[in-house]
Structure 1
């Protein structure tokens, strides 16, 4: 740290690069790549791609959140912590917690449920089509009605997927709010 308790220039640059890199990655994965891949790839290929990317994505998010929290925590004067500093620390702690839940718990369960779903779908000749490309009645809807095991697997998958999505959105929002906080604290631009 520089004199007066201010972080050095390198610390500031690392903090901003790691935070903005994580937030940019989260924006891309959440709002761009998933939708593009979902609309352009066969259903099971999309699942395979996501199963390979998401472990890296969640662990990188977790690592970035950890680095940012460590940097910010090391800069705080804990005896005189202001509400603003506490809220910024809370945002980074929330991001770390949610990214860790995704990386260490939800991702593996979501992927396992997806593989189980795909096994049943492959047995029925499904999964090779691009979503939205089938004509007539939805074969997946029919399968849910005919096979209680498939219906239960689907509910399990969407439960884990939904929780994972909420955690991901929480990380995205936490990092975005922290970035906004950094921007508001700028004296020159």
Structure 2
């Protein structure tokens, strides 16, 4: 199958890559901000906990398909420097998507549920967006070492997950640019 890709392979590569990148843009920069500003804090966490596993597994599937299609039509021995870079970007996206889907998403959600349980005990979590309750959360952090530790754990996993997601978004964006610059082939 190596050599010049057929029209079907080109269309599949473009559709999968643009689907993944568009979904990443939407989830990363639009839906989270809209939800954060429009629903209660615990509702936001619930929605994210249901949405993110699907999002990360779809991103993982797209990364696998992108890498597979590209690798089939670009034998390692004949790769140009640009193609090798693009192949590396697809591989990085695959690894980071797998990390998010298999480990970080679940760990973040687990820490969030535990944090929310403590917050509910203190009648917190029903505020929408940045509210006047920020002082109550600060007092809870200062007063409850268990909550403070859970919060640190949550933000550590959430931060790593966000970095992986952002790196995948950048990798896919660069691959889209490469694809656009060579529309006559993959």
Q: TM-score, normalised by structure 1?
A: 0.94
* 3-state SS of paired residue (2:123): coil
Partner of 1:60: 58
| TM-superposition CA deviations, 1:35-83 (whole Å, max 9, x none) | 0001111000000000000000000000000000000000013222211
Q: Does 1:159 align with 2:156?
A: yes
Extract structure 1 runs of 4+ deviating beyond 4 A. Answer: none
Larger CA deviation: 124-133 vs 24-33: 124-133
After superposition, where does 1:124-143 map in structure 2 within 5 Å?
124-134=122-132, 138-143=135-140
Tell me the distance in 1 between the aligned counterparts of 2:83 and 2:122.
56
Tell me the distance in 2 between the aligned counterparts of 1:134 and 1:83.
54
Correspondence for 1:117 among 100, 115, 118: 115
Partner of 2:179: 182
Tell me the distance in 2 between the aligned counterparts of 1:129 and 1:78.
54
Q: Does 1:40 align with 2:38?
A: yes
Correspondence for 1:103 among 79, 101, 104: 101
Instruction: Indicate the RMSD between aligned Cα atoms, in angstroms.
Output: 1.4
Q: TM-score, normalised by structure 2?
A: 0.96
Correspondence for 1:31 among 8, 29, 35: 29
Partner of 2:79: 81
Q: Which runs of 5+ in 1 are unaligned?
A: none
Tell me the distance in 1 between the aligned counterparts of 2:178 and 2:11.
15
| Superposition deviation, residue 133 in structure 1 | 2.8
* 3-state SS of paired residue (1:180): helix
Tell me the distance in 2 between the aligned counterparts of 1:146 and 1:56.
36
Tell me the distance in 2 between the aligned counterparts of 1:35 and 1:46.
10
Correspondence for 1:148 among 145, 148, 154: 145
| TM-superposition CA deviations, 1:68-117 (whole Å, max 9, x none) | 00000000132222111100100100110110000001000000000000
* 3-state SS of paired residue (1:179): helix
